[in-house]
Structure 1
Amino acid sequence: MNILQNENLIIESSSSGAELTRIFSKKHNRNILWDGNKKHWGRQSPILFPIVGKLLDNETIIEENLYNMTQHGFARDMDFEIANKGDAFISYSLTSNESTLKKYPYYFELLINYTLNDDSINIEWIVKNTDSKDIFFSIGGHPAFNLPFYEQDDFSKYYLEFKGGNNVEKINLNGSFTDDTKFIGDLKRLQLNPELFKNDALIYTNIDEVSIYNDKDSERLTISMKNFPLVGIWTPYYSETNSTAPFLCIEPWYGLADSIHSNKIYTDKKFINKLGKGKVFTASYSIDIH
């Protein structure tokens, strides 16, 4: 594990998947990030690339050839190199290779950068097109935060506050795939309860910021993702007990699962990103612990 720390925070990350594996708040004396207990979910903050969500039949057609890729893509299961490291930052790199080309026929370099600030972590993604043509990709984050903040609290004592535009849409899921879209308008607040997650994740467009609040406490966690097209909100739901896992994922996305009506053509996917030869895509979001 690679460790960065300051007066307020300790963060750890791994070369395996370039995954953030720990956020510890010295101020609150608690772990902010989920511990990866496989009883509920064995990951903590995987990088989703070059797809977000699932492909129909785990298949996609790129330049008339059929490729197989499992949910959320291959980056989360690959070893990254440490490209750079300092007292307050670390940079991981994944370069296209024989293994990736069998699943995704583009040449690229993917950089994942973590920077530790006073009370926050900045996560930056850089995709470099090293191919001789345009490339297409999706990318997303999937950080899981311990919820409740304190063991004695109930999941339903928490709510989310949103900041963003007044043209928010909710994209509904049918199983693992996207279906219809509902216009929400101005989304400000959402009281949490387990049944929200009966049909898997909540997916919204045009959200710049999501904060997790407790009804009785001033402590909050804010995920800022200005200009991101999508955010997913997810926790496993257990129907037999009408309960959830003890964490909540706030997931900034530049990409989306296949539609139930997908034609499987990769470049036709909704929210797909096109990157010209020699061009660089950059996006970043932050996690603030208040």
Structure 2
Amino acid sequence: MRHTIENEFLTVTVETKGAELVSVVDKATGAEMMWDGQKDVWPRRAPILFPYCGKLNGGHYTLDGQTWEGGQHGFGRDFEHEFVGAENGAMRFVLRANEETRKKLPRDFALESAFVLDGRTLRQTITVTNTGDRELRFGFGFHPGFALPFDDKHTTTDYELRFDAPQTPVVIETGATSGLVTGETRVMMENSDVIALDDRMFDHDSTCMSQLTAKTLSVVEKDTGRRITVGLEGFAYTLIWSAPGNPNLHFVCIEPWHSLPDTETFGGDWNEKPCAAALAAGESWNTTLEMTFDR
């Protein structure tokens, strides 16, 4: 089921499955600014990645003396989240641990999603609470996809990704087929604030950038200045991605993450896996994705 909030600028719609942001419409123009989820290209729009990002080495991990299977990006995006309510330009959802989630992660938790509109800015805040009596370790990442081009008068090369300050990103390499962290790194560019866009740039899959100092990364229409801006502060990693194998970019994802996929040599022990947080009973952790739609 879908639920909506709006203000004078934007109409925002969220799906209860995965508490996934599925639509942001500019009210002045009627333009849809999120990717539309075409199944033959990429059927998602803005999934949340919980309780880990990327892939597990071998597709499983060990915890409490047992082996647990897991697909890419965890399971938070795949379950129905309870709609808590909407008022005053805000709405909330929650996924609580249950019999089905414990088949994937044997821990108790509450995963809350809050969406708040402030002018042309949408803030999506995730709060994870340990509702059990054992330590809760987890990773987390955001994965919003923004539609390209903004209109039928522009093509991919009319856009660029632009940091708010010059950067020298260090790319964390992943295996071409495994999706696992190889341990190799490279410098993506030196002291530049622009990443050019072209239709073939994601044929190798995503690019994971670390050691960023920028506060924001925007997808910018060069001739008009129209843009969508994503906040990066507080995130260890930022990925950019679009579905490979298509003749044109239909969308671009700007993905702030707090954790990484497994390494190619990781042994699988969940308690040794680097995480976004390790919560004692009753503790909570939160993170906020800020998106500004200047269209």
1:210 has 2:221 as partner: no
Partner of 1:25: 26
Partner of 1:106: 107
Q: Which runs of 5+ in 2 are unaligned?
A: none
Letter in 2 for 1:32: M
Partner of 2:118: 117
Report if aligned partners of 2:142, 2:289 keep a CA contact under 8 Å in 1: no
| Separation in 2, partners of 1:213, 1:130 | 42
| Separation in 2, partners of 1:120, 1:87 | 15
Report if aligned partners of 1:136, 1:267 keep a CA contact under 8 Å in 2: yes
| Separation in 2, partners of 1:173, 1:151 | 34
- C-alpha change, 1:26 and 1:182, in structure 2 (3 Å) is same
| Separation in 1, partners of 2:157, 2:165 | 24
Q: Which runs of 5+ in 1 are unaligned?
A: none
Letter in 1 for 2:234: N
Partner of 2:70: 69
- C-alpha change, 1:282 and 1:265, in structure 2 (3 Å) is same
| Separation in 2, partners of 1:246, 1:60 | 34
Q: How big is each residue's C-alpha offset from its partner over 1:257-285, in whole Å with a ceiling of 9 and x where there is no partner?
A: 11122212223334442122211101101
| Separation in 1, partners of 2:59, 2:129 | 25
Q: What is the TM-score with the length of structure 1 in the denominator?
A: 0.93
Partner of 2:181: 178
Partner of 2:196: 191
Report if aligned partners of 1:50, 1:137 keep a CA contact under 8 Å in 2: yes
1:264 has 2:271 as partner: no
Partner of 1:250: 254
Partner of 1:46: 47
Q: How big is each residue's C-alpha offset from its partner over 1:81-133, in whole Å with a ceiling of 9 and x where there is no partner?
A: 12232131111001111111111011110001100111110000000011212
Q: What is the TM-score with the length of structure 2 in the denominator?
A: 0.91
Alignment of 1:122-161 (within 5 A): 122-161=123-162
Q: How big is each residue's C-alpha offset from its partner over 1:29-49, in whole Å with a ceiling of 9 and x where there is no partner?
A: 310001111121111111111
| Separation in 2, partners of 1:165, 1:49 | 31
Q: How big is each residue's C-alpha offset from its partner over 1:154-212, in whole Å with a ceiling of 9 and x where there is no partner?
A: 21221111247967421112121222122456452111123321220011124431111
Q: How big is each residue's C-alpha offset from its partner over 1:229-288, in whole Å with a ceiling of 9 and x where there is no partner?
A: 1111110122xx7x3440011111112111122212223334442122211101101110
Report if aligned partners of 1:206, 1:227 keep a CA contact under 8 Å in 2: no
What value does the CA root-mean-square deviation take over the aligned residues? 1.8
| Separation in 2, partners of 1:283, 1:167 | 25
| Separation in 2, partners of 1:244, 1:263 | 39
Q: Give aligned pairs, total.
A: 287
Q: How big is each residue's C-alpha offset from its partner over 1:9-56, in whole Å with a ceiling of 9 and x where there is no partner?
A: 001111111111110012343100011111211111111111111112
Partner of 1:284: 288
| Separation in 1, partners of 2:243, 2:52 | 21
| Separation in 2, partners of 1:48, 1:164 | 27
| Separation in 2, partners of 1:137, 1:186 | 33
| Separation in 1, partners of 2:167, 2:156 | 28
Secondary structure at the counterpart of residue 101 of structure 2: helix
Partner of 1:82: 83
Report if aligned partners of 1:48, 1:73 keep a CA contact under 8 Å in 2: yes
| Separation in 2, partners of 1:47, 1:237 | 20
| Separation in 2, partners of 1:130, 1:140 | 21
| Separation in 2, partners of 1:28, 1:193 | 26
